[in-house]
Structure 1
Amino acid sequence: MKIGEAARVSGVSARSLRHYEDEGLIVPGRCDNGFRDYCRSTIDRVLVIRSLLESGLPVRLIRDLLPRIADGSGTGDDAVPARFLQEVQEYRDRLAARIAALGEQQAALDAYLRQARGGER
């Protein structure tokens, strides 16, 4: 299928599909005229990529993870390298720290609003 149909089927924009290709996350086939040709397995991979991006993983980690997902080696606990798990944990820890900081900022704004409104909520 061409890029427009692939975008419709996958739920991502044609621009995102091109970006995934530029990042080395997908490799669509090419027609004789040079147009991209997306097969079902590429669309399935796009859905996995989209899910991983929505979970907050950076493209760099997704690029490392995709080959293990594709060949089925990323399904067992011992199949995922410790280095990769450590990177995901560190990313998660940085995310948790950002969430905590945002929570503190939100609490400070709530306190300010309460005070500015004369103690009412």
Structure 2
Amino acid sequence: MRIGELAARAGTTTRTLRYYESRGLLPARRAVNGYREYGEEDLRLLRQIRTLQDFGFGLEETRPFVDCLRAGHPAGDACPASLAVYRRKLAELDELIGQLTDVRQQVARQLASAELAAEAEAPGGPEPRCELTG
């Protein structure tokens, strides 16, 4: 298939495919007439890259998965290098979750403190709540 068809089937643009080619992630095979030619295996590579990017992996982090597929493994995550990237990404996500949990707790404490202060400042106690607005 040609580049336009591959881009359409992969849900991306020809510009993106050329960029992946320049980065060595997508093989650059040319027909006699100079047109780029791609096969189903290239579509599989692109789907792997897109899935990983949807999960938050950077383009370079997808390289071990692409290399694993190119090595003939049916899944791009069956190789040791791919597993190492998964482990690093999980550790990174765990760290981010920890940071977000800390921030959430701080914001919750600030909110509780602000609500108490607002109630204390309100003349006659807290304002009546409107049932229509919550």
Q: Could you say whether these structures have the same fold, taking a TM-score greater than 0.5 normalized by the shorter chain as the test?
A: yes
Q: 1:14-40 CA distances to partner (integer Å, 9 max, x unpaired)?
A: 111112112211103112232211111
- How many angstroms does 1:95 deviate by? 4.3
Structure-1 separation of matches of 2:67 and 2:45: 10
Q: What is the deviation of 1:85?
A: 4.4
Distance across 1 between alignment mates of 2:68 and 2:89: 15
Shift in alpha-carbon separation, 1:95–1:14, aligned structure 2, 3 A? farther
Cα distance per residue 1:11-67 (max 9 Å; x no partner): 111111112112211103112232211111111111111111111111122112322
Give the match for residue 67 of structure 2. Answer: 67
Contact kept, 8 Å, 1:7 with 1:17, in 2: the verdict is yes
Q: What is the CA–CA distance in structure 1 between the aligned matches of 2:84 and 2:12, rounded to whole Å?
A: 30
2:45 and 2:19 map into 1 onto residues whose CA distance is 14
* Larger RCO (CA within 8 A; separation ≥ 6): 1
Letter matched to residue 5 of structure 1: E
Over 3 Å counting, the alpha-carbon distance change for 1:19 and 1:96 in structure 2 is farther
Per the alignment, residue 42 of structure 1 pairs with 42
Gaps of 5+ in 2: 119-126
- Report what 1:90 is aligned to: 91
Structure richer in helix, relative to its length: 1
Q: Residue 20 of structure 1 corresponds to which residue in structure 2?
A: 20
| Inter-partner Cα distance in structure 1 for 2:45 and 2:89 | 20
Q: What is the TM-score of this pair, normalised by structure 1? A: 0.67
Distance in 2 between the 1:54 and 1:23 partners? 19
- Please report the TM-score for the alignment, with normalisation by the length of structure 2: 0.61
- The size of the alignment, in residue pairs, is 110
Structure 1 unaligned residues grouped into runs of 5+: none
1:29 and 2:36 aligned:
no
Deviation for aligned residue 1:69: 3.6
| CA–CA distance in structure 2, aligned partners of residues 23 and 91 of structure 1 | 24
> Corresponding residue for 1:55?
55
Paired with 2:95 and 2:24, the residues of 1 have a C-alpha distance of: 25
Change (3 A) 1:8 1:32: same
Q: Percent identity at matched positions?
A: 24
Q: CA RMSD in A?
A: 3.3
